[in-house]
Amino acid sequence: MGRIEELAARYRNHIGAPWQRNLAGDQKAIFVVYPPPDERKLRARLELFAATEHPWRLLDLTDTFARWMARLDYPDTFFKSPRKLTMLLDDDFVSFVAHRLREALTADGVDEDTVVAVHGTGSLFGFTHLSEVLSKVRNDIQGRLLVFFPGEYDGQIYRLLNARDGLSYLGVPITLHNGVND
């Protein structure tokens, strides 16, 4: 069994257990942590994660930066002077990403039994911290939020793309090497 198939099996085992209903939003998040080089393999096998008894919604964040730039007035200005973009990234971009995620979490048909899955999180790298986005939507998580996380998990710390100091998050890690799902 390949790494993605093993992660999917561990996820299905976790998600198939009865859900505790009185959790805080942070505790309803599940992080499937995989090596960044496996991104394409994961995308090709997302249906393995959707194959559960729970309704499934999928949000791809890959094109979020391009969507955000397209809505700005005079985006060419920022290509000439990228430093001007920094202030907008700190607030407006984070809010934009959070809005996209919030729309998925609160869409018609999403309820306390629904899994909202998010992939393409690696595309946020260098623009914002995933933790900032998640902090803005934690109260909107009704069922479970599944975050596909290209990086590593080590001792309560998640590192996106194995690069920056990571986020400490209450979500459940699904990895190939931890004791959570062994």
Query: For the segment 17-59, what is each residue's pLDDT rounded down to a tens digit?
Result: 999 989 999 899 999 999 999 999 999 999 999 999 999 999 9
pTM of the model: 0.91
Mean pLDDT computed over 116-136: 93
How many Å apart are CA 129 and CA 42, to the nearest integer?
Answer: 22
In a domain, 107, yes or no: yes
Residue 12 has pLDDT above 50, yes or no: yes
Q: Per the structure, how many domains does the chain have?
A: 1
In a domain, 12, yes or no: yes
How many Å apart are CA 39 and CA 119, to the nearest integer?
Answer: 9
Show the tokens assigned to 134. Answer: 């998640």
In a domain, 97, yes or no: yes
Average pLDDT score, the chain: 90
Number of alpha helices (DSSP H) and beta strands (DSSP E) in the chain:
8, 7
Show the tokens assigned to 22. Answer: 């009185």
What residue numbers bound the domain in which 159 lies? 3-17+28-174
In a domain, 166, yes or no: yes
Summarised one tens digit per residue, pLDDT across range 154-180 is 877 888 888 766 666 778 999 998 544
Exposure string of 122-153, with b = 16+ CB inside 10 Å and e = fewer, is bbbbeebbbebbbbebbebbbbbbbbbbbbbb
In a domain, 169, yes or no: yes
